[in-house]
Structure 1
Amino acid sequence: MGKNDFLTPKAIANRIKAKGLQKLRWYCQMCQKQCRDENGFKCHCLSESHQRQMQVFGLNPNRVIGGYSEEFERTFLDHMRRSHRFSRVAATVVYNEYISDRHHIHMNSTEWATLTEFVKYLGRTSKCKVEETPKGWFITYIDQDSETIFKDRLKNKRMQSDLAEEERQECVIAKQIERAVALLPSTSDSIEEIWNTPQYEDTQLQQTKSLEKIMFSIQPASAASSKPIVAGDKSGIPISNNANLGFGEDPEFEGKAKKAKSASGNACNAATSGKSALDELMKEEEITKERMNRKDYWLCEGIVVKVMSKTLIDKGYYKQKGVVRKVIDKYVGEIEILENKHVLRIDQEELETVIPQIGGVVKIVNGAYRGSSARLLSVETERFCAKVQIEKGIYDGRVLQAVDYEDICKFLP
């Protein structure tokens, strides 16, 4: 077995060392060779193969450096898109993850001498959102994928159509309530009109023009109970006592009288139950709005939330309050911490709503009146609910009782 054969201990040790990362200053990008120490790098620079590569580089150095710079930028942003697409992360963390691949493009072969220059370049070209903090440079990837932009446009268009549909239905419901309220006084007026019609006026006993004598036959009490009292004139024609009062045995008249009684009864019932009918209509409206506006997502811009992610305890963000600056895909919020102005991207399941002091402004984030601004009137700590009054909009001034804590949140207008 030879001295440097494949299975000799020295060859195995060399391969183990070659797997790990070496110092960047001893790497030759033109030859793609990593040297272990300064002496090895010096010997490589004096080699014939390296000299030929340097002659190629001397023919067009700008093209070579530009090609390496473009490839380094592309691979760096690809890693950002895969690993930290929706996160705000330190630039050094991303760079250390990127160079963990032994065959990456090294920064000493690009036009940027340091990582800070490269980060500033990403900020100038609007490829990343760059922030300088006492802890170093932080970057956030800006998604410029055409498919993503198209999906965002479709989502915004769909949200606008949903809002327009909700506003249209709210206007229709408001008009129905106005019509119901306008019908209440008309029902009471209909009662007076029914009783003032000529056909239902009390029929007066009319005096006959002729002064003829009217004869009455008086019968005993036993007979009177079995036979009706009958009156007659000179002609001997019997006249019923009901006819003198104007109420003959006319079936048409009896039918009209029954209709009048039923109409008056319905009008009275409508007048007495008008308020309950309005309440029923409002309840139906509440149920319809609750079914339409109750969603499984509640984040919206401008509200103050509390971070409840236990994975962020070590970084000091646990139970910190922040403002939602941007909502991503309905369920992820870009939170700006109020204490140190750091920006985090957190899922809504790791956030909870914040209740302000009495009299503060809140945003209704879920339920029938989702999206409305309101004023906090009182809080019931035992039932975990609050009493609010809506401000602005078509429901201005409406007071909502027993609104759950999860449905309202402190709002910074």
Structure 2
Amino acid sequence: MHLIWENTIKNLVLLWTGDDFKGLDEGTGSYRLQKSVWDAIGLATASSGSTIPGLYGARPPNVAADHTSTTADSWSFWTLYIGPVLLRRKFTEAKYYDHFVQLVKLLLTCLEFNVIVADINKLRDGFAEWVKKFEELYYQYDPLRIAICPVTIHALLHIADSIIACGPVWAYWAFPMERYCGLIRPAIKSRKHPFASLDRFIVECAQLMQIRLIYQLDGDPATSISKPQRKSAAGFRSTLYPTSSLLAPSKPGMPDNIILNKIAKCLATRYDKSGDIKAVKQCLDKAKITQWAKIRIDDGDTICAAAMYASADTDRRDATYARYEVLVDIYANRRRMEPQYEAETRYGRIQHLYSVQIPPNTALELESPETLFLAGITPCDIDATHAHLDIHYYAKESRTEQFVDADCIQCLVGRVRDGTRWAVIDRSGALSRAVYIPDA
């Protein structure tokens, strides 16, 4: 895959920007971007680091100016997530953008955890069509422009066969090897005999690994090969939420009346007491309510509550937006129809996170205490979706905060600014890909 990120993508960028790609001009095409346009894309890429959570990876560099920081990993992230957003409507002809998006779709299929036979057939046909289109758009069937077709373009035609022979590409791509080289490089203690230092370090690591396996010492920092990492706090848990935990800092105490009324409305729906809000409020008077700063889903995505963080902190990478699902009555506007609920996927910003510990209550038909996790969310008004990729656009956010059960929260999402609108990047859906995580 490095041949794609370090060669194919870079060559496409050189063609688009006209940075002396082997002394060739556009020929009969019109694929070059103006310098001001590419510079703006570079600045937008760098600024997107503030609105893309740190869990998504390192801050994206300015692809137009910071060439030293544009590694294979950064080009991979830019190609799959940021490029489809920032390149939209930037070419004078849409066929160049559509050609790029087709490549992104094929690469996303390559990076899936499981690849079935039907996917391999799509990859084989898809890459063949993409290469033919590449020759039409850039090579233009002109022998004098043959330099535009390096061997890395031809190599795309062999990806499907490589997957049949070796499995999905994430199982043998170069990122794990790069991470491993980064792990063993500090072990070089002698400039005169570097390989002896490496050999000794690798042998000692193997010995420690065997000791850990024989004596079941997994997780013991004393036998950890890499640097011991500080374990994060387990957080506050509830038996009703086995996959979620609320994380500090926390702030106990009753919220203001506006928030309290919204919590009561949410609980009234949960306990089917919509006609008796007063009884729910009386129950909340005896409940223990605590505000929390973060929620962790499945010991993975950690989503922050915007109300607990100062907005003036410009260095913080925004991790307050999430994808969540709610049940919506499709006959809500027809009072005489029986309610029929369907799950609806939404995106929004987490404003508040609360734990509500409710004691036994006859009005709510609670025989034992319950601890609920509630999230206050301001929804994004999604008004468009990319035709081929799982990217959603919105221009406005609702000012009305809605409280939902924490189980509705699915995952953390990022955002990329696209002019006057925002593009929501959801890595858990169609844009999901394999990510290398080194051993602890």
Q: TM-score range by the shorter chain?
A: under 0.3
The normalised TM-score by structure 2 is 0.19
Larger radius of gyration: 1
Structure having the larger proportion of residues in helix: 1
> Comparing both chains, which one has the higher relative contact order based on Cα–Cα distances under 8 Å and sequence gaps of 6 or more?
2
